[in-house]
Amino acid sequence: MKVLTRAHKKIKDLHPHEAIAPGTGLCAGCGGLEGLRLGLKELDDDFLICNAAGCFTLLSVYPFTPLQGSWLYTTMGGPVPAAQGVRDALDIRMRYRGLEEKENLQVIVVAGDGSSNDIGFGATSAAIHRGLDFIYFCYDNEAYGNTGFQLSAASPYGGATQTTPRTDEHEAGTEVNKKDLFEIWKAQKPVYLATVSPREPIDLSNKFARANELKGPRMFICMSPCPTGWGFEPKEAQLIAKLAVDTGIFPIKEYFEGEVVHTVRPRKRLPVEKFLERQKRFRHLFEPHRQEETIRQIQNRVDDYWRQYE
């Protein structure tokens, strides 16, 4: 069965509804907030967000909430178990306690890459295994951003973080590769799995609209350019997101019914330097001397990835 509706074709088709009110304490130019904002436009307001500790802790600061729906704050490892609890409670009450269908909520997990790749990783795997009916939104800014940008399993090779700075012994900064969360999740065959970028609002909206029609584990990884941690001017957030797609560093794809499809393909891939050179976390690759070998390794990794699909 492949009845996949492409609802949106242009910007003006975007849903006019804003599910997130302005006034949050998140950084100006936050790429993850833009992704969540566009995504929630496609869902109706009957949702409950289980929010892992992280940057998005700042979404709701007591006594204020930006959301039209509900928000449950959890520990960094606990958003998915919380989602399971909420889902079960709703199901049991609907079945045995006369809770009406219209009181049902869409359970959404919002977690950063630290929670998704490291601390909450096992619980998420278990939930996909059980087939929990939920949407998972991972805003991936490639480090523990809220505490000052420390290394996470999503930090890319060659980038500097607070715990892996460039030193004479470790010239590249981070010397391990980013965990491929998409492939790991894909191996468990969730109902729907997609990567999204705030720079591609139409693609993002279509993917959320599709996920809204499905049941079961629906996973999203959102590229989230982070002006504070990555070191660029807030106004360039979307430009950086665009370069991540155009250089092929961040492939935009979806997994549905056993098939991976790249929904936005870079026409002609730009060299990775175009993406790297604009960010402070990669500056040591260019100054004081150019680290050819490190840049080549990053480029090779991107090339190897795309060779599988070209």
Partner 1 sequence: MWRIRIHGRGGQGIKTASQILGSAGFYSGFQAQDFPLYGAERRGAPVIAFTRVSEDPILERGPISSPDIILIGDETLLNDPQSAPLCGAEPSTVVFVNSAQVPEVLSQKFSVTTTNLTDLCFQYLNHRTVYSSALSAVGARLLGNIELECLLRAVEDELIQQGISSQLLQGNLDLAREIFEMIQPVAVSQREEKGLTAKPLVFPSQLPVVDGAPIILDPGNMALRKTGNWRVERPEIDYEKCNNCLICYARCPDGVIGVAPDGRPEIDYDHCKGCLICALECPGHFIHTVKETGTFP
Instruction: Indicate the length of the chain as a whole number.
Output: 310
Q: Is 170 in the site for partner 1 (CB under 8 A)?
A: no
Residue 99, judged by CB atoms within 10 A of its CB (0-12, 13-18, 19+), counts as: middle
Minimum distance between the CB of residue 280 and partner 1, rounded to whole angstroms? 7
Nearer to partner 1, 136 or 230 (CB): 230
Nearer to partner 1, 91 or 175 (CB): 175
The answer to the question of residue 150 lying near partner 1 (CB under 8 A) is: no
Beta strands in the chain, from DSSP E residues, in sequence order:
47-51, 70-73, 106-112, 134-140, 192-196, 217-223, 252-256, 259-264
Using CB under 8 A, which of 1, 2, 9, 23 touches partner 1?
23
Which one among 22, 102, 292, 307 touches partner 1, defined by CB under 8 A? 22
Phi, psi of 97 (to 5 degrees): -115, 15
Contact flag: residue 236 with partner 1 (CB under 8 A): yes
Comparison of 188 and 238: residue with beta carbon closer to partner 1: 238
Residues numbered 58 to 117 that lie near partner 1 (CB under 8 A) are 58, 60-69, 71
Q: Which is nearer to partner 1, 191 or 239 (CB)?
A: 239
With respect to partner 1, which residue has the nearer C-beta, 29 or 217?
29
Q: At 215, list the tokens.
A: 């049941």
Cα separation of 279 and 161, whole Å?
12
State yes or no: residue 14 binds partner 1 (CB under 8 A): yes
**Helices within the chain (DSSP H only):** 31-42, 79-96, 113-114, 121-130, 181-187, 201-213, 237-246, 273-276, 292-307
Determine the interface stretch with partner 1 among 88-96, 104-112, 158-166, 255-263 (rule: CB under 8 A).
158-166
Toward partner 1, which CB reaches closer, 125 or 238?
238
Residue from 130, 170, 215, 235 in contact with partner 1 (CB under 8 A): 235
Cis before 63 (ω within 30): yes
Rounded CA gap, 260 and 273, in Å?
A: 27
